[in-house]
Structure 1
Amino acid sequence: MDSTAIDRFEANRSRLASLAYRLLGSAADAEDAVQDVFLRWQTADREHVEVPEAWLTKVVTHLCLDRLRSAQARHERAAGDWLPEPLLEGDPMLGPAETFEQRESVSVAVLTLMERLSPLERAAYVLREAFSYPHAEIAQILDITESASQQHVHRARRRVTAERRGDEVDPVSARRIVEEFFAAAASGRTERLVAMLTADATAVSDGYGLASRLLRYTTRERVASYVRAGFKPTPQKRRLAGGTLVFHVALVNGSPAVIAVTNDRIVGAVAFEVRDGKVAALHGIAAADRLVHLNRTWQQHKPDAPVLSAW
């Protein structure tokens, strides 16, 4: 393959990775999909490809759809027992973030909600909301009619909007709320935690990657108890983590998050949804295979001072 063809692909790599990540919710799977596209680009009859960008977009989208429809993926994501792979602020895979819709489409909350959509609904929604494709182009990419594209986007948008729990808040305010919440959790003041939660607050956790199903909590009192127990230090937790933990507040997928680190290695992340100055939802991710990409970028990141350095 000549250098011009390679350069054309590389110019699209970040956009393709961002699209694949939104469709799959996994940085590792997104990277694999993009590599598969590159292999197909190598063997394609490129002289007959009129618009390379459109060709690459269609190929990566269909590769992702195949993955979403596979028996293995359906099993792994069954009954919602799946959480997306978190990405640190500034990660190129997060992609476009100029509009609210673009930022929302990559949040941990919306990526989790999109698991309830059909593969075609998810693809149409991402192409429209995150990449602003017109319905005519979405129809060509997905091999459906323009009317079907409109219907898929409408249904997806309605379901995502109906189930969202958080608002977009400025990073400074969000960080302050999360720091206060974390301070209350670390101090054991359960009543203060309850007061900082919305009436319909929820929490989801993968149980440090050890639970066979996601752990879910659906009342303020249960969420507060879960948070308090989770942040209470014990010798067993230190052994599980591999040492003494340090906690940082950072942005993950555009949302404030508490990052647990030991020996410069992330062992857990809790992403927060904030609404009306309170915490509306938490997503706890600690499965090692879900933190590989986050750890890779963390090594190049200069974190702020920890909110707790001797846990």
Structure 2
Amino acid sequence: MNCRQIYRMAIYTVKLIRFKELSMTKQSKFRLFVYSVTTLLFYSVSGFLPVSAFTESSVPGGVTIVNLGSASEPRPQARFGSKKIMVIQRDGKWKGLVGLSLKTLPGDYIVSYKAGEKSSSDNEISIKVQPKTYPEQRIKMKQKKYVSPNEEQLARIKKENKHMGKLFKIWRDTDVSVDLSWPVNGPVSSPFGLRRFFNDQPRNPHSGIDIAAPEGTDIKLPSDGTIIDTGNYYFNGKTVFVDHGQGMISMFNHMSKITVKAGDKLKRGDKIGEVGQTGRVTGPHLHWSLNLNQARVNPMLFLPEKKKGKF
């Protein structure tokens, strides 16, 4: 990405922030602009590919990578606490990918693993999670029901959250690609991890990335996977859940149209629906959350440098 492309994407971001529907304070707009441009510059200059290059991201919302031994040995089984973690083969070694939720506190943790199915003893690896403070985002919502839901709406939200929790627990043993593709072509309008305030009321942090694109834009699968559920959710709008294997689950929100159904087995680049503005939104965009061992992690860690044009 050259300076001209960075400039154009920065201007696009400014225009997006100036949307009337996005009623943010001037200070919040400025912070979001600076954060977006800084992110663009960083990814452009470094060509940042943390997972592919096995660069550590041991912060809340990040991914820690641990060495589990030679790939000439049987595939090890590894856990972070009580949860299985993804194990892939790379550079002649077995690598364990540990998803760290945004709620993970800084400090020392243990990853345990067995060297093959027949091993009876556990080995342990210590990992250290570093602190990270994400920027604030303050949004003014015109629809009060998305800020202060009534009892009936809260009951629906609780039911939906319970259902989504079950989906994020799905585990399927298979080979997994961790080099993902962009599901839509557009600027990241809201980065991962933002500490969100709706009408000055604190809410859960942003556990995915928002990619701005016109309504009706095709959404393409970032990696092979199986559709495990679709539905229309209170906050998330029309949503698709995809199981990529070994606990990696993608969730795509706010769609205008869903073109797949549960059970469909798809390949990278297959269409799953179209960008929309259903649910709690301020304009058309795709929200993409990525789940790893039941933790929402930053999808940017799995993506190549963003390029403009057809994909």
Give TM-score, length-normalised by structure 1: 0.27
- Kindly indicate which of the two structures has a greater share of residues assigned to strand: 2
- Kindly indicate which of the two structures has a greater share of residues assigned to helix: 1
Give TM-score, length-normalised by structure 2: 0.27
